[in-house]
Amino acid sequence: MADDNLDRAARNILHANDRGGYTVPNGRVYPFQWNWDSAFVAMGFDRFDRNRSWTELETLFRGQWEDGFLPHIIFWQDDEGYFPGPAVWATGTAPATSGITQPPVAATSLRRLWESAVDAGEAGAYRARLEALFPKVLRWHRWFRDNRDPDERGVAVVVHPWETGRDNAPEWDAPGEPIDTSQVGDYVRRDTSHLDAKMRPTKLEYDRYLALVQFGRDLGWDHARIGRESPFRVADVGMSMILLRANRDLLALAEELGRTEDADELRASIARAEAGIGWLWDETRQTWCSRDLVTGRSSGFITNASFLSFYAGLRDQARDQATIAHIERIGAAVRYLMPSLDPEDPGFQMIRYWRGPVWAVVNLMIATGLSEAGHETLAHRLRDDTRTLIARNGFYEAFNPIDGTGSGGDDFSWTAAVWLAWAGRDA
């Protein structure tokens, strides 16, 4: 399909999944607003409807809690066929939301929208909207600092695999073993009724997910207590790198707005992360890994999140060389970068969610970081692979890294957005 036809198809997907101020990832499987999905979707809308792109983020932050927490799902309207729905989460909020968060891409998206408006000569029309959104995003970043970094290392600790956005990555297997699933009970999943179960998390994984929802609900979604007492507490390398990048982008906006005290606060958060995030470097595997807070052990898994250090703005010659070597090794083993798990790992599965498939949104972040660090050849490989996957197979949720076939839902909003914002554009 020609690029102009793909542009049109991508726009049509965003329009079709638009529910009036927010966009669902896929109408059949995911009928609500998801946090980091909307951050990417806004980047896509910005290519053809600037006003609508800002509305996406504004609607997302209408679901923010008083303490700054931003949930991973906002249930703007109920859908009885979805599980677990608002009654299961029972957060007692209006609008109804889930009780966990997701990777903080919103600040990075907001900076991109603002700079796009500036480049278009429309800064005056959007400055007030930037000034209104900035303190909301900052409050969310403060929530991470105050609730999810107990040792003040500058990392982001997650209390549920869904918070990572990489739901069933193998990094969560060992930390998930202590979770008591005996009280989960019977339930019917929506995902496996619409998609091939071979692509989705297993029942054991899903039982653990639901047990953690019950745990948080039983504590009244007291995030401070959950952060201290949850049986699942992992410093997620992906979330940590994305948060560091988001703090840098939010700092740029603070400086743009002349918010001196906020800028100083953000510089302190960035400095803390730069000093402490090395805790996630695994010397044995020579890669960035998540780490279990309960046991202190590194996961040892090489995933697509392991390659976000450049995106986070980290620079260390030895670590960078080791990271590049892993990318080149993996690039020689698969047809399309970047698989969500090292293909040499015995648990590699080409189509099972975050245990093998390629995700366009992660490719965008990895390639952005590689380009900024001067690794243009690899950045172009990631962009070209993403472009080819979409052009040949459509706007799937994810893709098989070996043969390129689609995995997960089709007509997926964030894949369409990535095409419009990055993969389908001239280099």
> Taking Cα atoms as reference points, which of 232, 213, 236 lies closest to residue 149?
236
Under 8 Å CB-to-CB from 48, ≥6 apart: which residues? 11, 420
Tokens of 281: 């470097």
How many domains is the chain built from?
1
| Known catalytic residue at 344 | no
Ramachandran area for residue 360 (φ above 0: left; ψ -120 to 50: alpha; else beta): alpha
Whether 340 is covered by a domain: the verdict is: yes
Element (H, E) at 138: helix 123-147
| pLDDT at residue 193 in the model | 53
- Burial class from Cβ neighbours inside 10 Å (0-12, 13-18, 19+) for residue 399 reads buried
Of 189, 193, 162, the C-alpha closest to 176 is 162
Q: How much is the pLDDT for 190?
A: 60
Quick check: is 48 in a domain? yes
Give the list of residues 6+ apart from residue 221 with CB closer than 8 angstroms, or none: 91, 99
Q: Which two tokens stand for residue 63?
A: 């679901």
> Is 16 among the domain residues?
yes
Query: Which DSSP state fits 341?
Result: B
For residue 101, tell me if it sits in a domain: yes
Residue 82: what pLDDT?
A: 87
Tell me which of 18, 191, 397, 411 is the catalytic residue: 397
Question: 77-98 burial, b if ≥16 CB within 10 A, otherwise e?
Answer: eeeeebbbbbeebbbebeebbb
Q: Judge contact between 179 and 231, C-beta under 8 A.
A: yes
How many Å apart are CA 242 and CA 368, to the nearest integer? 12
The single-letter DSSP state of residue 28 is T
CATH for 222: 1.50.10.10
pLDDT in tens for each of the 427 residues of the chain? 568 899 999 999 999 999 999 999 998 889 999 999 999 999 999 999 999 999 999 999 999 999 999 999 999 998 887 889 999 999 999 999 999 999 999 999 999 999 999 999 999 999 999 999 999 999 999 999 999 999 999 999 999 999 999 999 999 999 999 999 998 988 776 665 555 556 667 888 989 999 999 999 999 999 999 999 999 999 999 999 999 999 999 999 999 999 999 999 999 999 999 999 999 999 999 999 999 999 999 999 999 999 999 999 999 999 999 999 999 999 999 999 999 999 999 999 998 899 999 999 999 999 999 999 999 999 999 999 999 999 999 999 999 999 999 999 999 999 999 999 999 997 5
Both tokens of 377, joined, read: 């050849």
Please name the residue that has the structure tokens 């690029």.
3
Does residue 427 lie in a domain region? no
Q: Which residues contact residue 254 at a Cβ distance below 8 angstroms, ignoring those fewer than 6 apart?
A: 134, 138, 262, 263, 266
Domain that holds residue 305: 3-422
Q: Give pLDDT, residue 195.
A: 55
Is position 138 within any domain? yes
Report if residue 309 sits inside a domain: yes
Please check whether residue 166 is in contact with residue 352, taking contact to mean a CB–CB distance below 8 angstroms: no
Q: Is 264 annotated in the active site?
A: no
In a domain, 345, yes or no: yes
Residues 6+ away with beta carbon under 8 Å from 420: 7, 10, 11, 14, 43, 44, 47, 48
Candidate list 49, 79, 146, 167, residue with the active-site label: 167
How far is CA 92 from each of CA 152, 186, 221, 282, rounded to the nearest angstrom?
Answer: 30, 23, 10, 41
